[in-house]
Structure 1
Amino acid sequence: MSDHVTIRDIAGGVRLIGLDRPEKKNALTGNMYDAMFQALEGADASDEIGAVVFAGLPGVFSAGNDLGDFVEAARTDFRQTPALRFIRRLARTKTPMVAAVDGIAVGIGTTLTLHCDLVYVSDKARFRMPFVELGLVPEAASSYLLPRRVGLLKATELLLLSEPFDAATAVGLGLANAVMPSDMLVEHAVAQAARLAALPRGAIEASRRLIRGNQAEVEAALEAEAEAFEARLRSPEAQAAFKSFLDRAPKPAT
């Protein structure tokens, strides 16, 4: 598990996965991905857990992948990284998933929600997928899922131009269910998750398969992205973008 991810099983058969790395705006590290992987895998294996909720901190869901980890991943086998291991698990999870997004949701902070069954956002939610700006390609099967959700032209705008969008736009595009006040967001997400958890498990699993459609196509897109992503990680464009970002990042006080 990770010091920056809290896992709590609460009343109603709900597992709450909380991101808790405030100093880095919940940027995800390998250890955080591993913790979330274990939480999802454990939920699928449990008779008690009927739904999972992803939540961040007040004002920040996740700033995306830690860029320092991206730099390290470029030196290793990306196919074996905790990030890709988690993304594969996310796509295959049988337990219903709910996201409670308050504040910034960048990169994987946005694409994670495409795999959730319900998504609730605060009026402070701000989404962005700056993969191309970083010399990369989309991930988490977003190149497949997003066009089917919002249409080809809008998906192109969001993925290639990295256009940010707010809570109301997310609801209008069908990427979120509703906008909630920040102080009620997680409570509402947990309540909705408990409703899912109370339903017959077999019926939920079968219905999710029908609603989601062709799982093989989702996984094929995910793997095609992973191959392209690995190549892009090592590209001069991506390395220059990472260096530029890291050079601008505030240095710790000495």
Structure 2
Amino acid sequence: MTEGISMADQSPLLTHTDKATGVRTLTLNRPHRKNAVDGELWQLLHDALSGAGQDPELRALVITGAGGDFCAGADISGGGREGHPLTRMRFINEVALMLHELAIPTVAKVDGVAVGAGWNLALGCDLVVSTPTARFSQIFARRALSLDFGGSWLLPKLVGMQQAKRLALLAEIIGAEEAKSLGLVTYVVAVEEIDAFVTDLANRLAAGPPVALAQSKALLNENADRTLRDALASEARAQSINFATADTPVAFQAFVDKTDPTFTGEWNVQ
């Protein structure tokens, strides 16, 4: 699940970038805590997402976990919890927003547990790829807590209000196939195949037209709560931006020539 990354690295967040494809992988690396996120790891995630958003060479981002688990949520064991809870939550909220607003496509690669904020970290990605044995839970109620890391916004949009309430209020643990049937997992792939599958998926996303993909992602995120009139106005604005890149004529020519286009996202106003 962490091909090409040495687990000898003791950093709580491992970063690997394939410069040939522009795909970066962030690996949560606290396997002794099932990759539960403590204060240090929240800061590292914040910095990594900020860096990803400012790197013009990046075309896609994969988030995964080390040691056979994705993420057991926030680490509530007691360490690194200085300061007012609201201050800590505001910082965690910044991380959630940075992931949601990241212009490049994001993929969560999930094995083992993805619970609480860990599941919502996966749901905050654009696509979720899971092994058949992965387990998911909005576990907050079992800890006398309420939803966070965007769960109260994400769940009703993805599964509807009744299923969202079921998942939140009962804090049930569900498997990968049920999560997929609810629309909470995009693909379920055998554990021995998931690394290759996600690599291919991320490479396909990275090969797409970066400006157009960013526009489509933003339109889907923004227009879910707007009227059709608002959505159409946003689409017209985004399409005008796309026509001002080199990618559109390249795509049209490739269609005519029956070849594969190479997209750069370069501005091309005459």
Asked whether 1:4 is paired with 2:22, we answer: no
Cα deviation digits, residues 24-74 of structure 1 (max 9, x gap): 11111111111122221111111111111011124311111100358825x
Counterpart-to-counterpart distance in 1, 2:78 and 2:217: 33
Counterpart-to-counterpart distance in 1, 2:123 and 2:35: 19
Counterparts of residues 197-212 of structure 1 (less than 5 Å):
197-212=206-221
| Corresponding pairs, count | 216
Q: Which residue number in structure 1 is paired with residue 264 of structure 2?
A: none
Asked whether 1:182 is paired with 2:175, we answer: no
> Which one-letter code corresponds to 1:200 in the other structure?
P
Percent identity between the two aligned chains: 34
* Greater share of residues in helix: 1
Task: Measure how far apart 1:83 and its partner are.
Answer: 2.7
Task: Measure how far apart 1:164 and its partner are.
Answer: 1.1
Q: Which residue number in structure 2 is paired with residue 163 of structure 1?
A: 172
Is the contact made by 2:100 and 2:125 (CA closer than 8 Å) also made in structure 1? no
Counterpart-to-counterpart distance in 2, 1:204 and 1:146: 24
Change (3 A) 1:113 1:180: same
Counterparts of residues 31-180 of structure 1 (less than 5 Å):
31-69=40-78, 72=81, 75-80=83-88, 82-180=91-189
Q: TM-score with structure 1 length normalisation?
A: 0.78
Which ranges in structure 2 are unaligned for 5 or more consecutive residues?
1-9, 227-270
Counterpart-to-counterpart distance in 2, 1:185 and 1:47: 27
Q: Which structure has more RCO (C-alpha within 8 Å, separation ≥ 6)?
A: 1
Change (3 A) 1:71 1:47: closer
Task: Measure how far apart 1:171 and its partner are.
Answer: 1.0
Cα deviation digits, residues 93-146 of structure 1 (max 9, x gap): 222110000011111111112221111000110001111222221112211221
Counterpart-to-counterpart distance in 2, 1:150 and 1:91: 18
Which ranges in structure 1 are unaligned for 5 or more consecutive residues?
218-254
Q: Which shows bigger deviation, 189-198 or 164-173?
A: 189-198
Task: Measure how far apart 1:180 and its partner are.
Answer: 0.8
Structure 1 residue matching 2:118: 3-state secondary structure: helix
Is the contact made by 1:78 and 1:84 (CA closer than 8 Å) also made in structure 2? no
Counterpart-to-counterpart distance in 2, 1:33 and 1:4: 10
Task: Measure how far apart 1:16 and its partner are.
Answer: 0.2
Is the contact made by 1:64 and 1:108 (CA closer than 8 Å) also made in structure 2? yes
Counterpart-to-counterpart distance in 1, 2:140 and 2:85: 19
Task: Measure how far apart 1:77 and its partner are.
Answer: 4.7
Counterpart-to-counterpart distance in 2, 1:129 and 1:71: 23
Counterpart-to-counterpart distance in 2, 1:186 and 1:79: 37
Structure 2 residue matching 1:155: 3-state secondary structure: helix
Counterparts of residues 12-27 of structure 1 (less than 5 Å):
12-27=21-36
Q: Which has the larger radius of gyration?
A: 2
Which of these residues, 17, 30, 46, is aligned with residue 39 of structure 2? 30
Asked whether 1:191 is paired with 2:211, we answer: no
Is the contact made by 1:54 and 1:98 (CA closer than 8 Å) also made in structure 2? yes
Structure 2 residue matching 1:137: 3-state secondary structure: coil
Q: TM-score with structure 2 length normalisation?
A: 0.74
Structure 1 residue matching 2:74: 3-state secondary structure: coil
> Which one-letter code corresponds to 1:194 in the other structure?
N
Cα deviation digits, residues 150-201 of structure 1 (max 9, x gap): 1111110101110111110111111111111112213322221121111111
